[in-house]
A and B are shown apart, each in its own frame.
Chain A
């Protein structure tokens, strides 16, 4: 009996040892950071074999560019292999948190710093990028030569915290415009709308011609309300002031001005959006627009490369969402600082990570990047070569950071405390603008009262 038991236990122990031996470190070929202060980053990175772990978010043209860039980087530095992971934009912060905490990533893609707590906001938590820095998980990039290549304003606004640089931001995007099908507009004798009434009339014309007016990636939820940010912006052009007004009570979601926004949002979701848009994924919407199934596509500038990739000969234009009946109110483009690079503070591959960012920031590489993804560049030497670049160029003087980049909901606010078009049918349950406006304000007020 004992022999049998000992045999079983010995086998268990052996299995444990084998399993333990199979466990690999996160970066088996990674080198330890070298301590020599005299050697350059390039020399140190070139000294040993390194697997550099890079995390980015899903954006098809960006992923395609990064794959090509990684290949050329590896060709130039054969000892550095890039292990790139791609996650959905909605999951980026989750994966960043877990992988940084596990010290399982070297270079991370982070959206530009936003949603910082303002003095008039009470009892709000720090945004996740700030939490990451406060926890010591992001590397201080201040003074790195490649940082100097980027606009000082972009470095300050989108990547600086407490006077130190933690992110280099790679470009701005607008999300408050509408793509339109030039041939379809011409064929149906429709003028490019500059005011709300013209937009309504255009949609009616297309509808009469049995053409769906607009599409959006409703399956992901946020593309529906992001597409309507132009509506919000045409009514509240100063979005930072809007956020302050909502917190201090000088602006309400159910006052007369806001009510006109809700009424138009209902028209946008219920009448302008095509049936079935709720099932279209964000990544698939550009392809649907490029296929000629719809006349317009409210969406971010980052979709432009995907439209071109789907139908290279397709002729399209991009205009600010004409949400107001006054053309002067419709001249703004609202947006945000999009992707940026940050480095894990605990990376064992510091030199390779910095070399990666240096190489990426090279003027030629950066120009190729903005050409590929359609970002509004944050390097002053880069030019707007792309179709989307040329389309937005006339409005860049009126580029403003959007509401969502400022807003932090007070604790206790209900889930409807946002100006989201997706609350309306068919995406949500509401079909009366006044009732919805009251509900949204009540949800917000509940939070404001709770943190008094």
Chain B
């Protein structure tokens, strides 16, 4: 006979009833708009209330993928998005793990370090951008002074697109590393100390302890962090807006979507509101996130089963 946690009879439906508010808000805030975006991507919607919306079929997709040099620029932005994702994910993951292991030790003032490392996370993108714009100010800013000491100089965020892009990668890592670190830290604190004591008695050195105890038992945290880092970096756009604005050679797909959909301009040059086209670009980004996300999930799940059983 089946037993239900909440009892028998009508009580069986209580869990579903309790889930309803969550499902309602999920549909309202996430699933509904996502479905609407998919529909919008086949229209010339402007996003303006009262403006007529026409069905344009695959025109937006054709324009994004195959129309002149603009589509080549879109592919360049796509490539830049993947490069951004790779560097942010790997460095943020590695650094977050390293710092989590470090401040998981019995150090003096470790709570202060935890707070300091996590602090950038609670700042908004605008504040983060302001801090770094000042830090990287090329005329007498702190970083410019350091370079001056070594007899060199840089334009930092306003200079070569590749350099500006690299700075955004660094700032993205700085801004989000705290979350990665906290997830690893919580994972580290679930590992029983007896295991460490046992392998130490067996004569394992620090690296062997990490390799054979810490790393395998951190698998759930590894999976969570990798997934969050990959998806987060593929969708990043706010720091690009705040730090660089609309600059050739620096845009990632997320920022292109924002700029196109909301008529982002340069100075007072007017542009059109093209939310239908931006929706098509969003769907392409969604597919990219989906493919990469699912592939990573599959690999991680297999690894988890292999390690954790």
Contacts and interface: CB of A to CB of B under 8 A. Distances in A.
Interface of A: 1-2, 5, 8-9, 12, 89-94, 97-98, 100-101, 103, 111, 114-115, 125-129, 131-132, 134-137, 218-223, 226, 274-280, 336, 338, 404, 407, 411-417, 423, 425-429, 442-443, 446-447, 449-450
A338 B49 contact: no
B263 interface: yes
B273 interface: yes
Given A131-B48, A226-B267, A219 B158 contact: yes
Given A90-B265, A447-B69, A12 B63 contact: no
A93 B48 contact: no
Interface in B67-103: 67-73
Interface string B161-196: 100000000000000000000000000000000000
B144 interface: yes
Nearest to B10: A2
Contacts of A100: 48-49
B151 to A, nearest CB: 14
Contacts of B203: none
Given A114-B270, A226-B267, A276 B63 contact: no
A379 to B, nearest CB: 21
7 contacts: A127-B272, A220-B267, A221-B247, A276-B138, A412-B67, A415-B73, A427-B159
Contacts of A98: 262
A428 to B, nearest CB: 7
B155 A426 contact: yes
Contacts of A103: 49
B51 interface: yes
A429 B270 contact: no
Most buried by A among B46, B70, B72, B136: B70
Given A111-B268, A412-B71, 5 more contacts: A128-B273, A219-B158, A223-B267, A278-B138, A415-B248
Contact of A97 (B18, B70, B245, B263): B263
A447 B68 contact: yes
Contacts of A426: 155, 158-160
A7 to B, nearest CB: 13
Contacts of A115: 269-270
The A interface is mostly helix, strand or loop, or mixed, namely helix
Interface of B: 6-7, 11, 14, 17-18, 21, 46-51, 63, 67-73, 133, 136-139, 141, 144, 153, 155-161, 245-249, 262-274
Given A221-B247, A412-B71, A278 B155 contact: yes
Nearest to A97: B273
A279 B158 contact: yes
Given A93-B263, A132-B48, A442 B69 contact: yes
Given A276-B144, A428-B248, A97 B47 contact: yes
Contact of B50 (A91, A92, A135): A135
A93 B161 CA distance: 26
Contacts of B47: 97, 101
Nearest to B161: A429
Given A219-B157, A279-B141, A415-B248, A93 B271 contact: yes
B138 A94 contact: no
Contact of A221 (B50, B155, B246, B263): B246
Contacts of A404: 267-269
Most buried by B among A2, A131, A134, A449: A131
A411 B268 contact: no
Given A90-B266, A97-B262, A1 B6 contact: yes
B264 A94 contact: yes
B241 to A, nearest CB: 9
B247 A128 contact: no
A127 B158 contact: no
Nearest to B248: A415
A128 B245 contact: no
Nearest to B275: A97
B155 A276 contact: yes
Given A413-B69, A423-B248, A89 B267 contact: yes
Nearest to A5: B14
A178 B204 CA distance: 72
A213 B156 CA distance: 21
Nearest to B251: A415
Contacts of B139: 274-276, 279-280
Nearest to B7: A1
A134 B51 contact: yes
A100 B272 CA distance: 15
Contact of A411 (B6, B63, B264, B266): B63
Contact of B245 (A9, A12, A220): A220
A137 B273 CA distance: 14
A336 B21 CA distance: 52
Nearest to A98: B262
A90 B258 CA distance: 13
Contacts of A131: 46, 48, 51, 272-273
Contacts of B158: 218-219, 277-279, 426-427
Contacts of A338: 268
Contacts of B267: 89-90, 220, 222-223, 226, 404
Contacts of B153: 275-276
B249 to A, nearest CB: 6
Contacts of A428: 160-161, 248-249
Contacts of B161: 428-429
A131 B50 CA distance: 10
A287 to B, nearest CB: 12
Contacts of B247: 221
Nearest to A410: B68
6 nearest interchain CB pairs?
Answer: A278-B158, A412-B68, A414-B69, A135-B51, A446-B69, A276-B138
